[in-house]
């Protein structure tokens, strides 16, 4: 079985900017900078033959390059407890279009629809053991964070292997976004 997800890989310069935010919250498990990404669709565990179908479906996607702007920080909660700390991505039509195309392509090969609403973000830390007041102070301190915009020219199919300290994400296939030439 392969554990897969589709995401935007972030350039080293952007990962370094985000990494500058990490730290200062006891109990938070900070995501290593090499694992920063923006998930378009979590797939989960699938058989290798199904992974080939996923690859074929993703390779058929046609979308334009676009500018990604990361801005602000926030939290996700589950059952009243803050589970994670994230940097947000400003929504834009091109990002939403790409995510919708990925979702549609994966449903066409038989994967169940994603239950969660798309909320573009980059996870900074897992925070289930951190004090809520520390997390809220962090959000207030960095809410105006703005990263340098980057051009997104491809999206990536990643595999994920669970590790002791952090998961290991391996880029398996990059899919280029191509500017359409007017005919």
Catalytic residue among 7, 51, 121, 135: 121
Catalytic residue among 18, 36, 37, 99: 37
Residues in the chain: 183
Q: At what angle do helices 48-59 and 93-108 cross, to 10 degrees?
A: 140
User: Alpha helices, DSSP H only, in 20-151?
Assistant: 48-59, 93-108, 132-142
Q: For residues 133-157, b (16+ Cβ closer than 10 Å) or e, as one string?
A: ebbeebbeebeebebeebebeebbb
Active site residue 121: yes
Spatial separation of the C-alpha atoms in residues 16 and 10, rounded to whole Å: 10
Active site residue 154: no
Catalytic residue positions? Answer: 37, 121
């Amino acid at each position: 079985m392969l554990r897969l997800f589709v995401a935007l890989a972030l350039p080293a310069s952007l990962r370094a900017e985000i990494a500058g935010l990490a730290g200062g919250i006891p109990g938070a498990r900070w995501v290593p900078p090499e694992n920063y990404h923006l998930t378009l669709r979590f797939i989960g565990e699938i058989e290798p033959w199904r992974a080939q179908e996923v690859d074929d479906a993703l390779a058929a996607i046609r979308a334009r390059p676009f500018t990604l702007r990361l801005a602000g920080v926030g939290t996700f909660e589950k059952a009243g407890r803050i589970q994670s700390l994230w940097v947000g991505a400003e929504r834009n039509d091109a990002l939403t279009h790409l995510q919708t195309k990925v979702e549609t392509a994966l449903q066409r090969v038989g994967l169940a629809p994603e239950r969660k609403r798309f909320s573009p973000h980059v996870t900074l830390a897992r925070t289930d053991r951190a004090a809520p007041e520390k997390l809220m102070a962090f959000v207030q301190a960095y809410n105006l964070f703005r990263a340098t915009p980057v051009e997104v020219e491809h999206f990536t199919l990643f595999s994920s292997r669970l590790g002791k300290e952090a998961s290991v994400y391996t880029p398996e296939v990059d899919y280029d976004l191509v500017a359409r030439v007017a005919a």
